[in-house]
Amino acid sequence: MSVVKLQQVSRAFEVGNKPIVALDKLDLTLEEGEFVVLRGASGSGKSTLLNLIGAMDNPDGGEVLIHDQALSTLSDKQKSQLRSHYIGFIFQSFNLIPVLTALENVQYPLSLQKIPDAQAKLRAAEALDQVGLADFIHRRPNQLSGGQMQRVAIARAIVTKPDIILADEPTANLDSETSIQIMDLLGELNVQTGLTFLFATHHDFVLSRASRVLELKDGKIIKDDKLRGLTSVKTKAG
């Protein structure tokens, strides 16, 4: 079953009155449970693709569909609700809210879904436990290491049980060892939860964990390798 579908999607930007094509009539389908790595040089369109799938940007042409729902038909509020319920984000710089504890950071997306505090707290604690931070729930971001902060960000992304996690260079600010740990964690989560993952990355070591590798160049997919079957062994419902 497809989670994301892109049909002839184009996106261009103007840089100093000069149009730069970021995505050029791109077609792409992501299936449920896939662990997809998006590769490509800087400026190849990786981030633009993630922003469009994440309903944070609008294409100049074509259509982005999430669960067969065309994003172009949604209002800003509906896109917010879609992001809240179906998409999780992991950022390169972690983007945690500095005044909140790890638990509160993870709890916050649930509060946006109007889930009662007690229930949200419980789910946030479970998510932090899943990423191995059960003992750090009351620490603020400035009391955590880079790897720990990214684990909190991962917990924040999975706590709403989204359909797809979008990660833009999630290991770029981490050392090699921590990066491997983080990727192992994401791989485990993919297997355990059946979540679909789409990563933009430069790191080659990620490839061994991927079920599919997409390579972008000048706004086009130049390589689409399905390396193995779906890694997930159980569906989200299960």
Partner 1 sequence: MLKLKLALLNVLRNGRRSFITLLAIQFGVISLILMGGFFASMYEGMRETVIRSQLGHIQIYSEGFNQFGSQQPEEYLISPEVLEQVVKQVEGLEQVALVTPRLNFTGLLTDGSKSLAVIVEGINPDKEALLSSAVKLTQGEDLFDEDIEGALIGEGLFNSLNVEVGASLTLMATTADGSFDARDITATGAISTGTREVDNRFVRMNLKHAQELMYTQGVTRLVVLLNDTEQTDAVMALLQAEFAAKGLALELRSWSNLADYYHEVVNLFDGIFTVVQFIVLAIVLLGIVNTMVMAVMERTPEIGTIRAMGATRFEIISLFVSEAVILGLIGSVLGVVFAILLAQGITASEIMMPTPPGSSQTYPIRIFTSPDLLLKNGLFGLTIAVISSIYPAVKASRMVITQALRFA
Q: Is 18 in the site for partner 1 (CB under 8 A)?
A: no
In the region spanning residues 167 to 226, those forming contacts with partner 1, defined by CB under 8 A, are: none
Which pair of structure tokens corresponds to residue 237? Answer: 């419902």
Q: Shortest Cβ distance from residue 120 to partner 1 (Å)?
A: 7
Residue 209, both tokens: 């964990």
Of residues 76-95, which lie at the interface with partner 1 (CB under 8 A)?
A: 76-77, 80-85, 89, 91, 93, 95
By DSSP bridging, strand 164-168 and strand 2-15 are unpaired
- Is the CB of 69 or the CB of 93 nearer to partner 1? 93
Please report whether residue 143 would count as binding partner 1 according to CB under 8 A.
Answer: no
Of residues 216 through 235, those in contact with partner 1 by CB under 8 A are none
Nearer to partner 1 among residue 90 and residue 186 (C-beta): 90
With tokens 């172009």, the residue in question is 72
Two tokens, residue 46: 């990786």
The answer to whether residue 141 forms part of the interface with partner 1 (CB under 8 A) is: no
Hey, CA dihedral for 104, 109, 110, 112, is it positive or negative?
positive
Listing from the earlier edge strand, what are the strands of the sheet with 2-15? 18-31, 2-15, 61-66, 69-70
Cα separation, 29 vs 86, in Å, equals 16
d(CA 149, CA 146): 5
5 binds partner 1 (CB under 8 A): no
The size of the interface with partner 1 (CB under 8 A), counted in residues, is 31
List residues binding partner 1 (CB under 8 A): 51, 54, 56-57, 76-77, 80-85, 89, 91, 93, 95, 97-100, 104, 107-109, 111-113, 117, 120, 156, 160
